[in-house]
A and B are shown apart, each in its own frame.
Chain A
Amino acid sequence: GDSVTQMEGPVTLSEEAFLTINCTYTATGYPSLFWYVQYPGEGLQLLLKATKADDKGSNKGFEATYRKETTSFHLEKGSVQVSDSAVYFCAQGSQGNLIFGKGTKLSVKP
């Protein structure tokens, strides 16, 4: 069945370091892809999205490109901040419900 696999955490980085969180998917169709962020004790916030191959989603310095050939949607940020510490979820959706990865916890140290 359809699924999402993302790199396991936790990921610990120093402030201003480069971030990559890998995400791959399996799908029978052509899903939309999403990154959500969850801060402690809160719900999920949509971070960025892409709807078709080669689309690049971007927001708050984060970027991810929909790569159909590698079925990937890796999240990147050039310079992380302490305030980026959170859990990041990759997700796919095509028929209404979203399928989520297990989440990657990011901790950024000053």
Chain B
Amino acid sequence: NAGVMQNPRHLVRRRGQEARLRCSPMKGHSHVYWYRQLPEEGLKFMVYLQKENIIDESGMPKERFSAEFPKEGPSILRIQQVVRGDSAAYFCASSPSPRGGLYEQYFGPGTRLTVT
């Protein structure tokens, strides 16, 4: 059973360009989460999605950032007009439907975004 897949693993963008990060959840998982990790920091929650629905986007910056999880295909985290402060590792996690309130999340290897 393949794990959570993310691509690309490394992405370099110039300031003002767009970055698209993709995440394919584990087979059978219908919940996807995006986190951002800044250097020497823990992970910060960004957004929680189910198929075609955004469940919680309380951690998403209000501007330039968007996420989707379409009926078919991977989840996409999109950053428009990137700035140097967007440089970070972006991790995707997936989980099955929660049982007993337990959202056990499995993480992908991450996409390391560098903005030059």
Contacts of B108 in A (CB 8 A): 43
Residue from B40, B48, B55, B102 in contact with A32 in the complex, judged by beta carbons closer than 8 Å: B102
Chain B residues within 8 Å of A, Cβ to Cβ: 4, 6, 31, 33, 35, 40-45, 48, 55-56, 58-59, 91, 93, 98, 100-110
Judged by a CB distance under 8 angstroms, whether A22 is at the interface is no
Contact between B43 and A89, CB atoms less than 8 A apart: yes
Question: How many cross-chain pairs have Cβ atoms below 8 Å apart between A and B?
Answer: 68
Contacts of A102 in B (CB 8 A): 40-42
Can you list 6 A-B contacts (CB < 8 A)?
A42-B110, A43-B108, A44-B93, A95-B103, A98-B43, A102-B42
Contact between A49 and B103, CB atoms less than 8 A apart: no
A contact face: mostly helix, strand, loop, or mixed: strand
Chain A residues within 8 Å of B, Cβ to Cβ: 4, 32, 36, 42-46, 49, 51, 89, 93-103
A36 to B108, CA, bound (A): 13
Contacts of B55 in A (CB 8 A): 96
Contacts of A89 in B (CB 8 A): 42-43
Contact between A96 and B48, CB atoms less than 8 A apart: yes
Q: Chain B: which residue is nearest A89 at the CB level?
A: B42
- Interface-central residue, B42, B59, B105, by most chain A CB under 10 Å: B42
A5 to B87, CA, bound (A): 25
A55 to B5, CA, bound (A): 31
Contact between B109 and A98, CB atoms less than 8 A apart: no
Q: Chain A: which residue is nearest B50 at the CB level?
A: A96
Contacts of A100 in B (CB 8 A): 35, 42-44
Contact between A99 and B45, CB atoms less than 8 A apart: yes
A59 to B83, CA, bound (A): 41
Contact between B91 and A44, CB atoms less than 8 A apart: yes
What would 20 more interface pairs be, CB under 8 Å, given A98-B43, A103-B42? A32-B104, A42-B109, A43-B107, A44-B43, A44-B91, A44-B93, A44-B107, A46-B104, A89-B43, A94-B101, A95-B56, A95-B103, A96-B55, A97-B48, A97-B56, A100-B35, A100-B42, A101-B42, A102-B42, A103-B41
